[in-house]
Amino acid sequence: MSPFVAEFLGTTLLVLFGNGVVANVVLAKTKGHNSGWIVITAGWALAVYIGAFCSEQASGAHLNPAVTLAMVTAGKLSAAKAVEYIVAQMLGGFVGGVLVYAFYREHFKVSDDADGKLACFCTAPNIRQNTQALFCEAVGTFALVLPIFLMTSASVALPGREEAAPLGLGSLGLLPVALLVFGIGLSLGGTTGYAINPARDLGPRLAHAFLPIPGKRDSDWGYAWVPVVGPVIGGVLAAVTANALGALK
């Protein structure tokens, strides 16, 4: 499997499971309706594990433009390869959003909450203050990427896959990353919904804009830049910090 296909497939699965759990909790007449934040954060942690497990051997399981750009900042990935990764991630985010809609289509029909329908695709702040939300997304992503660098050897490449710039996690090493995402959701997710991944937010947001969802609202484009710019800032700062700490060899 090529790194492009791996990043596309992994991000598609990430969004299918992650946004799928949101839909299960938020939409009307689902088995998981109103089951709460713990279910959502646990579902997202598992989504990260599933997507990363399926792509790690081929691409290093970035599944996140913030991680990819952090790798570029660390000098572990070329700009050309980063473009390939990010395109695959964005396509995967879009397709994952479409699949969530197709799977829960009948529940979208019977749900009246337009904001809840949008939440099945992308994030929004509970208090509308974009500067604060940008800070939260940057800190949340920093708290994701720096521990990943510290728990792995970012310079390790798989035989014959040096161009893939894997993080060197290995299948068992993916579990701590899933737990890390779980912890971020529990501790830092209450302000913005912890996008911490531009592809996870912008890809499905585009799907929301194009899909014929009954009773939908606008796709909140006035906020859409925050979960893109914030994670990029956080990821780059994490790479700089990891380098300063001597974690990047």
Three-class HEC string of the chain: CCHHHHHHHHHHHHHHHHHHHHHHHHCCCCCCCCCCHHHHHHHHHHHHHHHHHHHHHHHCCCCCHHHHHHHHHCCCCCHHHHHHHHHHHHHHHHHHHHHHHHHCHHHHHHCCCHHHHHHCCCCCCCCCCHHHHHHHHHHHHHHHHHHHHHHCCCCCCCCCCHHHCCCCCHHHHHHHHHHHHHHHHHHHCCCCCCCCCHHHHHHHHHHHHHCCCCCCCCCCCCCCCHHHHHHHHHHHHHHHHHHHCCCCC
- Separation CA 51–CA 61 (nearest Å): 8
Check whether domain 3-244 has CATH 1.10.4160.10, yes or no: no
- Predicted confidence at residue 16, as pLDDT, reads 98
Domain limits of the chain?
A: 3-244
Residue 246 pLDDT = 81
Q: What is the pLDDT along the chain (249 residues), one digit of tens a residue?
A: 899 999 999 999 999 999 999 999 999 999 999 999 999 999 999 999 999 999 999 999 999 999 999 999 999 999 999 999 999 999 999 999 999 999 999 999 999 999 999 999 999 999 999 999 999 999 999 999 999 998 875 443 433 444 444 555 554 568 899 999 999 999 999 999 999 999 999 999 999 999 999 999 999 999 999 999 999 999 999 999 999 988 776
Q: What letter represents residue 219's amino acid?
A: S
Q: What is the pLDDT of residue 167?
A: 56
Q: Note the pLDDT of residue 169.
A: 57
* Cβ(66)–Cβ(142) below 8 Å: no
**What's at 148, amino acid-wise?**
I
User: What pLDDT sits at residue 152?
Assistant: 74
* Residue 184: per-residue pLDDT: 98
The pTM score is 0.92
- The answer to whether 92 and 199 have CB atoms below 8 angstroms apart is yes
CA dist list (Å): 65 to 24, 83, 112, 127, 132: 26, 9, 33, 26, 21
The CA-atom distances, in angstroms, between 199 and each of 95, 106, 110, 164, 185 are 11, 26, 28, 19, 17
Asked if 82 contacts 72 with a C-beta cutoff of 8 angstroms, the reply is: yes
Q: Which pLDDT value is given to residue 248?
A: 72
CA distance 28 to 24: 8
Separation between Cα atoms, residue 241 and residue 142, nearest integer Å? 9
- What's the sign of the alpha-carbon dihedral 169, 173, 178, 183? negative
Residue 146: CB partners within 8 Å, gap ≥ 6?
Answer: 238, 241, 242
User: For residue 156, what pLDDT is reported?
Assistant: 38
